[in-house]
A and B are shown apart, each in its own frame.
Chain A
Amino acid sequence: MTFMTAAANPPTIVLIGHGMVGHRFLEALAERRVPDRARVVVLCEEPRPAYDRVQLTSYFSGRTPDELSLVAEDFMARHGIELHIGDPATSIDRAARTVTARSGLTITYDTLVLATGSYPFVPPVPGKDAEGCFVYRTIEDLLAIEEYAAGSRTGAVVGGGLLGLEAAGALKGLGLATHVVEFAPRLMPVQVDEGGGEALRRTIEKMGVEVHTGVGTQEIVTGEGGSVIAMNLSDGSVLDTDLVVFSAGVRPRDQLARECGLPVGERGGIVVDEWCRTPEDERVYAIGECALAADGRVYGLVAPGYDMAVAAAQAIAGEAGGSFTGADTSTKLKLLGVDVASFGDAHGTTPGCLDVHYCDSRSGIYKKLVIAEDGTLLGGVLVGDADAYGMLRPLTGSIPPLAPEQLVLPSGAAAPAALGPSALPDDAVICNCHNVTKGTIRAAVTEHECTTVPQVKKCTKAGSGCGSCVKVLTTLVNEELKAGGITVEAGLCGCFSHTRAELYEIVRALRITSYADLLDRHGRQEARGGEGCEICKPTVASIIASLAPTIGAGGYVLDGEQASLQDTNDHFLANLQKNGSYSIVPRIPGGEITPEKLIVIGEVARDFGLYTKITGGQRIDMFGARVDQLPLIWARLVDAGFESGHAYGKALRTVKSCVGQTWCRYGVQDSVKMAIDLELRYRGLRSPHKLKSAVSGCARECAEARGKDFGVIATSHGWNLYVGGNGGADPRHADLLAQDLSDAELVRLIDRFLMFYIRTADRLERTSAWLERIDGGLEHVRDVVVHDSLGICDELEALMADHVANYRDEWAQTLNDPDRLRRFVSFVNAPDAPDPSVCFTPERDQIKPDLEILAGPTLPVRTLEGTPSA
Chain B
Amino acid sequence: MTTLSVETLETAEAAEAAAQSVTVELRVDGAWVGVCKLGQLTPGRGAAALLPDGRQVAVFRDRGGALHAIANQDPFTGAYVLSRGLLGSAAGRPYVASPLLKQRFDLATGQCLDDENVTVAAYRTRMRRE
A residues neighboring B (CB under 8 Å): 494, 516, 527, 530-534, 537-538, 561, 563-565, 567-568, 571-572, 576, 578-580, 822-823, 826-830, 833, 835-838, 851, 854-856, 858-859, 861-862, 864-867
CB distance B79 to A866 under 8 Å?
Answer: no
CB distance A531 to B79 under 8 Å?
Answer: no
Measured CA separation A578–B31 after assembly (Å): 34
Hey, which chain B residues are within 8 Å of A571, CB to CB? 45, 84
- Out of A534, A578, A827, A856, name the residue touching B85 (CB < 8 Å): A534
Q: Using A531-B89, A563-B45 as known contacts, list a sample of 16 further A-B pairs with CB atoms less than 8 Å apart, ordered by residue number in A.
A: A534-B85, A534-B87, A564-B42, A564-B87, A568-B85, A579-B79, A580-B80, A827-B47, A828-B48, A829-B35, A830-B50, A835-B80, A837-B56, A838-B80, A859-B71, A864-B122
Residues of B in contact with A, size category? 35 or more
Nearest CB in chain A: distance from B118 CB, A: 11
The chain B residue with its CB closest to the CB of A858 is B73
Nearest CB in chain B: distance from A479 CB, A: 29
Measured CA separation A568–B97 after assembly (Å): 11
Hey, which chain B residues are within 8 Å of A833, CB to CB? 50
Nearest CB in chain B: distance from A572 CB, A: 8
Hey, which chain B residues are within 8 Å of A829, CB to CB? 35-36, 49-50
The chain A residue with its CB closest to the CB of B104 is A534
Measured CA separation A571–B87 after assembly (Å): 13
Question: For residues 47 through 90 of chain B, which have their beta carbon under 8 Å from a beta carbon of chain A?
Answer: 47-50, 54-56, 59, 62-64, 71, 73, 75, 77-81, 84-90
Q: List 21 A-B pairs, Cβ < 8 Å.
A: A530-B89, A532-B63, A532-B87, A533-B89, A533-B90, A534-B88, A534-B97, A827-B50, A828-B47, A829-B36, A835-B48, A854-B80, A859-B55, A861-B71, A861-B110, A861-B120, A862-B121, A862-B123, A864-B27, A864-B124, A865-B124
CB distance B86 to A867 under 8 Å?
Answer: no
Hey, which chain A residues are within 8 Å of B73, CB to CB? 837, 854, 858
CB distance A826 to B44 under 8 Å?
Answer: no
CB distance A858 to B75 under 8 Å?
Answer: yes
CB distance B28 to A866 under 8 Å?
Answer: yes
- Out of B55, B84, B88, B119, name the residue touching A532 (CB < 8 Å): B88
Measured CA separation A532–B121 after assembly (Å): 24
The answer to whether residues A567 and B88 also contact, given A829-B35, A854-B77, A858-B73 and a CB cut-off of 8 A, is no
CB distance B35 to A828 under 8 Å?
Answer: yes
- Out of A561, A567, A837, A856, name the residue touching B99 (CB < 8 Å): A567
The answer to whether residues A866 and B78 also contact, given A534-B85, A564-B42, A829-B35 and a CB cut-off of 8 A, is no
The chain B residue with its CB closest to the CB of A561 is B44
Measured CA separation A775–B112 after assembly (Å): 40
Hey, which chain B residues are within 8 Å of A867, CB to CB? 29-30
Measured CA separation A814–B47 after assembly (Å): 19
User: Taking the complex as formed, is B100 at the interface, i.e. its CB lies under 8 A from any CB of chain A?
Assistant: yes
Nearest CB in chain B: distance from A787 CB, A: 41
The answer to whether residues A828 and B80 also contact, given A530-B92, A533-B88, A864-B124 and a CB cut-off of 8 A, is no
The answer to whether residues A538 and B86 also contact, given A579-B79, A854-B79, A862-B29 and a CB cut-off of 8 A, is yes
The answer to whether residues A534 and B124 also contact, given A571-B84, A580-B81, A859-B55 and a CB cut-off of 8 A, is no
CB distance A861 to B48 under 8 Å?
Answer: no
CB distance B121 to A828 under 8 Å?
Answer: no
Hey, which chain A residues are within 8 Å of B89, CB to CB? 527, 530-533
Measured CA separation A229–B71 after assembly (Å): 70
Hey, which chain B residues are within 8 Å of A576, CB to CB? 81, 84, 99-100
CB distance A828 to B40 under 8 Å?
Answer: yes
Hey, which chain A residues are within 8 Å of B94, CB to CB? 531
Hey, which chain A residues are within 8 Å of B99, CB to CB? 567-568, 576
CB distance A866 to B50 under 8 Å?
Answer: no
Measured CA separation A851–B78 after assembly (Å): 8
Nearest CB in chain B: distance from A539 CB, A: 11
The chain B residue with its CB closest to the CB of A560 is B42
Measured CA separation A855–B74 after assembly (Å): 11
Measured CA separation A864–B30 after assembly (Å): 10
Measured CA separation A565–B104 after assembly (Å): 16
Measured CA separation A25–B45 after assembly (Å): 60
Nearest CB in chain A: distance from B77 CB, A: 6
Hey, which chain A residues are within 8 Å of B55, CB to CB? 859
Measured CA separation A148–B90 after assembly (Å): 62
User: Taking the complex as formed, is B129 at the interface, i.e. its CB lies under 8 A from any CB of chain A?
Assistant: no
Measured CA separation A865–B104 after assembly (Å): 23
CB distance B40 to A861 under 8 Å?
Answer: no
CB distance B44 to A865 under 8 Å?
Answer: no
Hey, which chain A residues are within 8 Å of B80, CB to CB? 580, 835, 837-838, 854
Hey, which chain B residues are within 8 Å of A564, CB to CB? 42-45, 63, 87
Counting from the closest, the 4 A-B pairs by CB-CB distance are A564-B44, A854-B78, A533-B88, A531-B89
Measured CA separation A823–B42 after assembly (Å): 9
Measured CA separation A776–B80 after assembly (Å): 47
The chain A residue with its CB closest to the CB of B51 is A829
- Out of B28, B64, B79, B97, name the residue touching A837 (CB < 8 Å): B79
- Out of A531, A578, A836, name the residue touching B88 (CB < 8 Å): A531
